[in-house]
């Protein structure tokens, strides 16, 4: 059953998520190109849900770039996006964790923030065998609440907000950077 939350409660959760991502070193730092600023990026691999929006808000508030992986992508395309984006952490549903355990090359991915706790022991064991650390979303919020970061004042309209990967009609997914 869905429970409604206040705007203030969601705002606080977004601050906790944004703080924990930085404090726990869960963001990949990548450079867009020579002389370009460094971006902090994190992936998300889940269908639309409340936690997805909270994570999106956290990334917008702190100037991180969120990289969605869509449930229509198969393991090969997921591997391509993981490699191309260089993410080290992906926020995942249990269903998405099942896909990741079947994905041959996870590139630099080292952390999964599990939105659900209903993933199987086999999935957890398979991901751990691949060197993946699993953190619960609930624990991420607790960590962020214990050490909140101030919101930055340096986010510019040119700051990258998200990478939007499409399935494309041919070849690998195409990524478009969308700014604030």
Question: pTM for this one?
Answer: 0.93
For 46-104, the pLDDT digits (tens) are: 999 999 999 999 999 999 999 999 877 778 889 999 999 999 999 999 999 999 999 99
For 89-146, the pLDDT digits (tens) are: 999 999 999 999 999 999 999 999 999 998 999 999 999 999 999 999 999 999 999 9
Q: Is 145 left (phi over 0), alpha (psi -120 to 50) or beta?
A: alpha
* CATH T-level assignment (fold) for domain 7-149: Rossmann fold (3.40.50)
What pLDDT shows up at residue 139?
A: 97
Strands 65-68 and 89-92: unpaired
- Domains of the chain, by residue range, sit at 7-149
- Report d(CA 86, CA 3) in Å as an integer: 35
6 has pLDDT over 90: yes
* Residue predicted with more confidence, 16 or 3: 16
* Residue predicted with more confidence, 165 or 169: 165
Residue 168 pLDDT class (50, 70, 90 cuts): low
- Report d(CA 64, CA 28) in Å as an integer: 10
């Amino acid at each position: 059953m869905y429970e409604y939350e206040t705007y203030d409660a969601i705002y606080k959760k977004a601050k906790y998520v944004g703080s924990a991502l930085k404090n726990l070193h869960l963001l990949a730092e990548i450079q867009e190109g020579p002389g370009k600023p460094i971006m902090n990026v994190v992936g998300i691999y889940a269908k639309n849900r409340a936690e997805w929006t909270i994570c999106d808000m956290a990334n917008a508030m702190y100037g991180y770039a969120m990289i969605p992986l869509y449930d229509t992508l198969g393991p090969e395309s997921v591997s391509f996006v993981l490699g191309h984006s260089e993410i080290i952490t992906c926020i995942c549903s249990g269903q998405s964790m099942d896909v990741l355990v079947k994905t041959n090359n996870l590139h630099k991915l080292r952390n999964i923030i599990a939105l659900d706790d209903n993933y199987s022991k086999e999935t957890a064991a398979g991901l751990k065998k691949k060197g993946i650390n699993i953190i619960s979303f609930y624990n991420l919020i607790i960590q962020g609440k214990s050490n909140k970061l101030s919101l930055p004042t340096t986010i510019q309209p040119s700051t990258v907000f998200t990478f939007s990967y499409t399935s494309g009609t041919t070849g690998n997914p195409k990524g478009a950077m969308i700014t604030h």
